[in-house]
Structure 1
């Protein structure tokens, strides 16, 4: 008997790109750009990303004055830097920080670099090995081709004075020196996958459902229908123009087009015909009930995306929880998510402590770089208390039992059996 392991395709392929002196981030060198577009199209994925970023950045630094410290000539503050790198880490698991030095070999400026703009240098080329390439349009969204002269190469972060001195000499002096890049990457000599890479197909699915719903609205939920009509000489202008290749719509097609859509749902169209043989015939054809299918698909897709980002579902779908327990459930979810993101906050604090230990001035005399977790009291039980008081008032009122049960089910999220038990004397 022969045994074998099924071949599982790698999520990304890293290949040397000799044209630009980099290692491609997947075959098209645009993995981060593709993931950003998919997340932007998926409401659940975007919400999960925002939640992770918020919890990683927490409530800022414990040292209150630290967040206001300006760290470059453009006015970047420590608070803004923390928020920016936390946002990148929440999705890409990594981030980039550019530093430059003064003649005393101390860091004189710190800048945030978008993670999606960073590519590792080709390790097989002595000119780019150990360097990082920065370019703002690897996905060719603005320009059709990548311009080699627009790519900036930076040395890897190393605060050793001798290393910096050699880099400055190689660059042709301080005026030509571009500094170094601190590249936080959980992988070793490889690119990281996004946080929820295992479910990125679901981002695309949710975006497709959104497009389908939009199409249904813009066509006025018009059922699928075929129109049969006899061809007429006066409609011949609908034939393809050989020169332009463009179809010119007939007047009937124009009328039908304006008849569709949410804003035209109650219009009436009048079609004239000369004899019975020229009468247009609208014939609907049966299709699968998409409403229920899409509803169940949307729920399962949403659940997988939330799971892929490792975000407690109470923080995404808190409004679906029972009114009585919503506050306590959210509190527990916040504590859980704070624990899950604690290593991320610790890593950011350690990186910032390392970088600013070489800064030209002491911006944090207490050397306290800890980040405050999101406080659980944002989900105070006041919500549950208010809901409980309202429910007690409802139960003690003279409202018919059927109305009480309906209110408990639809206004407060109780199941029917629970609502009936509460209304039973």
Structure 2
């Protein structure tokens, strides 16, 4: 008996790009850009990203007023830098910081660099090895081709005075020196995957469900219908001066315009009148049965949402708080916050150590206490009064002598439960 083990392809392929002297971030060199688009189209993924960012950034730095310190000529503060780094760390698991020095080899400027704009230099290219390429449109959204003249190369972070002196000499002096890039990457000589790369297909699925629902609304939830009619006698007027230019493009007839206007959420209550001369020319509308998509999409949406939440390692209580039973006293959410604080503790520590490393070499002492710890998100008290009151009110409703239909209506319209959930609670 033969056995076959299917090979699992790598999620990204890193290949040298000799044209630009970089290592491609996947075959199209646009893996981060594609992931950003997918996350933007998925409400659950975007929510999970925001939650991870919030917990990694925490409630700011422990050292009071440290976040207000300005660290470059553009007015960037440490608090804004922390939030930007946490945002990239939450999704890409890495981040980038641009650093520049003065002649005393002290850091004078610290700037945030978007992680998706960074590409590693080709290690086999003597000119770009140990460098990073920065460009704002690797995904070619603005320009069809990458403009080599706008690709900026920065040296790898190394604060040793001898190294900086050598880099300055190669650049042609301090006035031409562009500084270094601190590139935090959890991988070794490779590009990292996003936090929830294992479920990025579900981002696309959820976005597709959203588009489907929008299409159903804009067509007024009309059933799929076929129109049978004789060859149209009323032809559209397609004679126009530029007919040669628009060959094959016909102006719709009045019937086609009326049918188009009849569809849509805003036209659901309109009446359409179709005239015909005899029975043989009477149009016939026939609905053709299709699979019931409502239940199918509802089940798919729930499973997709659950996988995305799991992929980001976010406790479901923090994403679906509004779907909780309402009978809880808040202990579940408090426990979820404590758990997620533990899960993101390593991320906060990495950010703290990075800030401590960089600003220990700053041209002025902005943190005499040397405390760069980040305050974790505060857990909600378990004895949340609004939660207790809501839970008690629902319990009283369920135990009352009101008819079952009244209880269900109250749970749906007053407390926001779904119909099926309300019915299950009133069994």
Normalised-by-shorter TM-score class: over 0.9
- Paired residue secondary structure (1:234): coil
* Alignment deviations for residues 78-98 of structure 1 (CA, whole Å, 9 cap, x no partner): 000000000000000000000
1:182-331 alignment, distance < 5 Å: 182-235=182-235, 237=237, 243-244=245-246, 245-325=248-328, 327-331=330-334
Q: TM-score, normalised by structure 1?
A: 0.94
- Paired residue secondary structure (1:227): strand
Alignment of 1:337 with 2:340, yes or no, is yes
1:328-407 alignment, distance < 5 Å: 328-377=331-380, 381-391=384-394, 394=397, 399-400=401-402, 402=404, 406=408
Displacement of 1:303 after TM fit?
0.4
On the 8 A contact 2:327/2:392 being kept in 1, the answer is no
Alignment of 1:70 with 2:70, yes or no, is yes
Q: Write the distance in 1 (CA, Å) between the matches of 2:220 and 2:342.
A: 48
Pair 407,331 (structure 1): closer, same or farther in 2 beyond 3 Å: farther
Displacement of 1:416 after TM fit?
6.2
* Alignment deviations for residues 294-327 of structure 1 (CA, whole Å, 9 cap, x no partner): 0000000000000000000000001111212161
Q: TM-score, normalised by structure 2?
A: 0.93
1:109 corresponding residue in structure 2: 109
2:143 corresponding residue in structure 1: 143
Q: Write the distance in 1 (CA, Å) between the matches of 2:76 and 2:382.
A: 32
Q: Write the distance in 2 (CA, Å) between the matches of 1:379 and 1:261.
A: 47
Q: Write the distance in 2 (CA, Å) between the matches of 1:404 and 1:328.
A: 30
**Structure 1, unpaired ranges of 5+:** 421-425
Pair 176,370 (structure 1): closer, same or farther in 2 beyond 3 Å: same
On the 8 A contact 1:47/1:316 being kept in 2, the answer is yes
Q: Write the distance in 1 (CA, Å) between the matches of 2:360 and 2:301.
A: 49
Q: Write the distance in 2 (CA, Å) between the matches of 1:341 and 1:191.
A: 21
Q: Write the distance in 2 (CA, Å) between the matches of 1:58 and 1:205.
A: 31
1:80 corresponding residue in structure 2: 80
Q: Write the distance in 2 (CA, Å) between the matches of 1:205 and 1:395.
A: 38
* Alignment deviations for residues 109-145 of structure 1 (CA, whole Å, 9 cap, x no partner): 0000000000000111000001000000000001111
On the 8 A contact 1:91/1:195 being kept in 2, the answer is yes
Pair 388,5 (structure 1): closer, same or farther in 2 beyond 3 Å: closer
Q: Write the distance in 1 (CA, Å) between the matches of 2:283 and 2:39.
A: 45
How many pairs were matched up?
419
On the 8 A contact 1:38/1:204 being kept in 2, the answer is yes
1:91 corresponding residue in structure 2: 91
On the 8 A contact 1:323/1:383 being kept in 2, the answer is no
* Alignment deviations for residues 18-44 of structure 1 (CA, whole Å, 9 cap, x no partner): 111110000000000000000000000
**Structure 2, unpaired ranges of 5+:** none
Displacement of 1:395 after TM fit?
6.4
On the 8 A contact 1:408/1:419 being kept in 2, the answer is no
* Alignment deviations for residues 380-417 of structure 1 (CA, whole Å, 9 cap, x no partner): 622322113424654686x5253675368644867767
Q: Write the distance in 1 (CA, Å) between the matches of 2:395 and 2:269.
A: 45
1:8-87 alignment, distance < 5 Å: 8-87=8-87
